[in-house]
Structure 1
Amino acid sequence: MDSTTQTSSHWYVLYTKPRAEKKLAKQLLQDGIEAYCPTRVEVKQWSDRKKKIETPILPSMILVNIPDQDRPLVFDRPQAVRYLYWLGKPAKVSSKEVESLRSMAEDSQFESQELQSLRPGEKLDMTALGFEQIEGTVKFVNAKECWIILEHIGYVVKFKKSQLEL
């Protein structure tokens, strides 16, 4: 291996303990490790009030940009569980996909998308849903929610109509 390969970093999917995504991402950032926990704002309703809460888009997962040889460093934090593997190798996420998640989380462009127009099995150019150069497959859709498979990481992202209208 040459030295440029050893020092190049990639985005990896890191499993976290339940409900520890934002906390772990913050701690890794403090440790000097680039970490990203994509979130969306969700309205939660209790019997006496409604509150907007920032909810992770990828439950129990965060994205970390780290050189290959430094991947074990994330396990210095007890909230880190393991890396996601895809086809026998650590799942790598392209920078374009990470930027698309960032732009989707910051700029909810889902409002104009009619859920009823989507069909299970349909391949989607996710650009229409706020992503850039990402392909997904519709897994399930009804009038209230849509599940889309992000094939590069083998994960299903679920969107509820109420979340898309915020």
Structure 2
Amino acid sequence: MFNAQPLAWYAVYTRAKCEKKVADLFTRKKVEHYYPVKQLIRARKMVESPLFPSYVFVRIPESRTWVVRETENVVNFVYWLEQPAIIPDHEISLIKHFLRNYEDVSVERFPINAGSDRTDSSRGKIIQLASNRVKVELSSLGCMLVAKVPSREIAVISGSITVNGHHY
């Protein structure tokens, strides 16, 4: 009998404007993946745009990285300290939550230093909470998700922040 390796989320860098093609290939190869898109209105028409241009996330055991590397239009894994960067489950869940619950979501980058601590709690770390914006840190990706939120949906509950019914 073999030991099953744990599944982990990895960020995969794709060729420009090939995220959807890569996601379709992963579907055919039965590779669990997540391709986060946001809805935009262009020329009076609703279109999907990648939230993270040139990125698709895959959830695989380390032993199956070759399947991803052999996929057409995949450039490589995103690396951190000479190893494929692992994205914590809670950060993928946070991305899904933001896209599901907020209409206007964007990404802002911030620099990651080699000596910085990339571990995080199981909740998103709120960076800024203004009257109509909430920023949540995704430390493993070196960015923040930013969403516009009506102020009536924000409340402080005993030291925690609640936005739209979800605690951070």
Q: TM-score, normalised by structure 1?
A: 0.65
**Alpha-carbon distance in 2 for matches of 1:12, 1:151:** 14
* Selected match of 1:54 from 41, 48, 58: 48
Aligned to 1:134: 124
* Selected match of 1:73 from 67, 70, 83: 67
Larger helix percent: 1
1:63-104 CA-partner distances (Å, limit 9, x unpaired): 000110101111222211111112332111111211221122
Q: How much does 1:134 deviate? A: 2.0
Aligned to 1:164: none
**Alpha-carbon distance in 2 for matches of 1:108, 1:147:** 12
Q: TM-score, normalised by structure 2?
A: 0.64
Aligned to 1:150: 138
1:2-29 CA-partner distances (Å, limit 9, x unpaired): 924xx21100000001111122112102
- Report if the CA contact (8 A) 1:149-1:156 is conserved: yes
Q: How much does 1:34 deviate? A: 0.3
Q: Where does 1:116-127 land on structure 2 (aligned, <5 Å)?
A: none
TM-aligned CA distance change 1:41 to 1:23, over 3 Å: same
**Alpha-carbon distance in 1 for matches of 2:18, 2:144:** 19
Aligned to 1:31: 29
- Report if the CA contact (8 A) 1:92-1:153 is conserved: no
* Selected match of 1:83 from 57, 77, 94: 77
Q: Which amino acid letter does the alignment assign opposite residue 134 of structure 1?
A: G
Give aligned-pair identity as a percent. Answer: 23
1:90-133 CA-partner distances (Å, limit 9, x unpaired): 1111112112211221221659xxxxxxxx9xxxxxxxxxxx82
Which SS does the other structure have where 1:3 is aligned?
A: coil
Gaps of 5+ in 2: 111-121, 150-168
TM-aligned CA distance change 1:158 to 1:15, over 3 Å: farther
Number of equivalenced pairs: 129
- Report if the CA contact (8 A) 1:42-1:52 is conserved: yes
